[in-house]
Chain A
Amino acid sequence: MIKSIWLKEYIKLKKILIILLLIHMVVALYYFITLRGGFEMVTPVQIWLDIVAKNSIYFYRYEVVFYGTAIALGVFQFLPEVIKRCFRISCHLPMNEYLMTASMISFSILFLTLLLVIDTVLISVVSSLFFPYDIYSLIPKVMLYWYLESVLVYMIASILTLEPLWKNKIKIAVLIVGIVTLIDVTVYKTDIYYLFIIMAIVIISIPIIYYPAIRFRKGVM
Chain B
Amino acid sequence: MSINISNKIISVEDLEHTYGSNKVLHGINLSVDKGKVFGLLGKNGAGKTTTINIMMGFLKPDSGRCLIFDENSYSLSNNTKSKIALLHEGHLAYDFMSIDETEQFYQSFYKAWDKEIYAYLIKKLGLKRSHKIKNMSCGQRSQVTLAVLMAQNADLLMLDDFSMGLDAGYRRLFLDNLNDYVQKREKTVLVTTHIVQDIERFVDEAILIDKGRVIVSGKINNLGDGLHGYRINLDVDIQLLNNYTEIKDISTNNRCYEVITYIKPVEADIFFSKALSKKIDYEYFNLTLEDTFIALTGKY
B60 at the interface (CB under 8 A from A): yes
Q: Mark B56-67, 1 if CB is under 8 A from A, else 0.
A: 111110000000
Q: Which residues of A contact B95 (CB under 8 A)?
A: 80, 84
Cα(A92)–Cα(B78), bound, Å = 9
Contact with A219, one of B53, B84, B109 (Cβ below 8 angstroms): B53
Q: Mark A64-99, 1 if CB is under 8 A from B, else 0.
A: 000000000000000010001110110011111000
Check A93–B59 contact: CB distance below 8 A.
no
B101 at the interface (CB under 8 A from A): yes
Q: Which residues of A contact B109 (CB under 8 A)?
A: 1, 4, 93-95
Check A218–B94 contact: CB distance below 8 A.
no
Stretch of A5-13, A135-143, A192-200 on the interface side:
A5-13
Contact with A8, one of B59, B105, B110 (Cβ below 8 angstroms): B105
Contact with B89, one of A11, A85, A95, A217 (Cβ below 8 angstroms): A85
Q: Which residues of A contact B101 (CB under 8 A)?
A: 7, 11
Describe A's contact surface by its main secondary structure: helix
Check A4–B82 contact: CB distance below 8 A.
no
Cα(A92)–Cα(B91), bound, Å = 13
Count A-side interface residues using an 8 Å CB cutoff. Answer: 21
Check B108–A96 contact: CB distance below 8 A.
no
Contact residues, A159-181 vs B (CB, 8 A): none
19 pairs of residues in contact across A and B, judged by CB atoms under 8 Å:
A1-B108, A1-B109, A3-B108, A7-B104, A11-B105, A12-B94, A80-B95, A80-B96, A88-B56, A89-B88, A92-B81, A93-B81, A93-B109, A94-B79, A94-B109, A95-B78, A95-B109, A96-B78, A219-B58
A sample of 13 more A-B contacts (CB under 8 A), given A11-B94, A88-B88, A92-B86, is A3-B108, A4-B105, A80-B95, A85-B88, A85-B89, A86-B91, A88-B58, A92-B88, A93-B81, A218-B57, A218-B74, A219-B53, A219-B60
Residue positions of A touching B, CB distance < 8 A: 1, 3-4, 7-8, 11-12, 80, 84-86, 88-89, 92-96, 217-219
Residue positions of B touching A, CB distance < 8 A: 53, 56-60, 74, 78-79, 81-82, 84, 86, 88-89, 91-92, 94-97, 101, 104-105, 108-110
